Structure 1
Amino acid sequence: MFKRTAVLVVSCGALLTACGTDADPRLENEEIISNLIEAGYPADSIMVVEGAVYVERDAQVSLEASREMLQRGEGSAEQYRTNNLVDTTIVKKICINPTSAFNTYSRLSQGLDLAIQNYNSLGLSFVMARGPTTGCNANITAQATSGAGGSAGFPSGGRPYGTITIGTGLQSYSVDANEHMITHELGHTIGFRHTDFFNAASCGGNEGSAGVGAILIPGTPTSDPSSLMNSCFRATATGEFSQYDIVALNYLY
Structure 2
Amino acid sequence: MNLFKSFSIALLSSLLLFFTSCEVDQETLNETTREQQDIPKDIIQKLEKAGFHTHEGLSKVEDGYVVEYDIFLTEEEIYELANQNIENNSKHYRTNNLVSGTRTIRVYVDPALGSFVRSATDQALQRYNAQNLRLTFSRTTNASSNDIRIMAASNTALDGSFASAGFPKNGRPHNLIRMNTSFYGGSNRLGNTVTVIAHEIGHCIGFRHTDYANRAFSGCPGGGNEGQGEYGAIHIPGTPTTFAVANSWMLACIGREVNRPFIASDRTALQRLYARTPPPVSPVPFYRFYNSSRVNHYYSTSRSTPGGYRYEGVQCKIYNQQVPGTVPLYRFYNSSAVNHFYQQSRSTPAGYRYEGVAGYVFRSGGNGRIPLYRYYNSSAVNHFYTTNRSEGNNAAGYTYEGVAGYVLR
Give TM class, smaller chain: 0.7 to 0.9
- Pick one of 98, 111, 114 that aligns with 1:86: 98
Over 3 Å counting, the alpha-carbon distance change for 1:45 and 1:79 in structure 2 is farther
Unmatched 5+ stretches in structure 2: 6-23, 156-160, 275-409
Shift of 1:54: 2.1
- Pick one of 134, 150, 172 that aligns with 2:163: 150
Over 3 Å counting, the alpha-carbon distance change for 1:78 and 1:93 in structure 2 is farther
In angstroms, what is the RMSD of aligned CA positions? 3.0
Q: Is the 8 A contact 1:65 1:155 kept in 2?
A: no
2:258 & 2:148 partners in 1: Cα distance? Answer: 24
- The aligned residue for residue 173 of structure 1 is 189
Unmatched 5+ stretches in structure 1: 18-29
Over 3 Å counting, the alpha-carbon distance change for 1:13 and 1:40 in structure 2 is farther
Identity across matched positions, percent:
27
Superposition map of 1:39-188 within 5 A: 39-44=50-55, 47-51=58-62, 52-74=64-86, 79-89=91-101, 92-102=103-113, 105-132=114-141, 139-147=147-155, 149-168=162-181, 169-171=183-185, 172-174=188-190, 176-188=191-203
Over 3 Å counting, the alpha-carbon distance change for 1:70 and 1:200 in structure 2 is closer
Q: Is the 8 A contact 1:118 1:240 kept in 2?
A: yes
- The aligned residue for residue 235 of structure 2 is 215
Say which structure is richer in strand: 2
2:211 & 2:129 partners in 1: Cα distance? Answer: 25
2:35 & 2:256 partners in 1: Cα distance? Answer: 32
SS, match of residue 9 in structure 1: helix
Question: Under a length normalisation based on structure 1, what TM-score does the superposition of the two structures give?
Answer: 0.77
- The aligned residue for residue 206 of structure 2 is 191
1:157 & 1:64 partners in 2: Cα distance? Answer: 13
2:46 & 2:88 partners in 1: Cα distance? Answer: 22
Q: Deviations over 1:74-104 (max 9, x none)?
A: 1689754343332323x622111112213xx
- The aligned residue for residue 24 of structure 1 is none
- The structure, 1 or 2, with the larger RCO (C-alpha pairs under 8 Å, 6+ apart) is 1
Over 3 Å counting, the alpha-carbon distance change for 1:95 and 1:67 in structure 2 is farther
Q: Is the 8 A contact 2:88 2:234 kept in 1?
A: no
1:100 & 1:43 partners in 2: Cα distance? Answer: 33
Shift of 1:37: 3.0
Equivalent residue pairs, number = 233
Amino acid paired to 1:54: V
Say which structure is richer in helix: 1
- The aligned residue for residue 327 of structure 2 is none
Shift of 1:56: 2.1
- The aligned residue for residue 14 of structure 2 is none
Shift of 1:243: 1.6
1:235 & 1:15 partners in 2: Cα distance? Answer: 30
Q: Is the 8 A contact 2:54 2:68 kept in 1?
A: no
Shift of 1:234: 2.6
Q: Deviations over 1:57-83 (max 9, x none)?
A: 211112342233245441689754343
- The aligned residue for residue 250 of structure 2 is 229
Shift of 1:108: 0.8
Over 3 Å counting, the alpha-carbon distance change for 1:36 and 1:127 in structure 2 is same
The question of 1:204 aligning with 2:221 is answered yes
Q: Is the 8 A contact 1:60 1:152 kept in 2?
A: yes
Q: Is the 8 A contact 2:54 2:67 kept in 1?
A: no
The question of 1:245 aligning with 2:256 is answered no
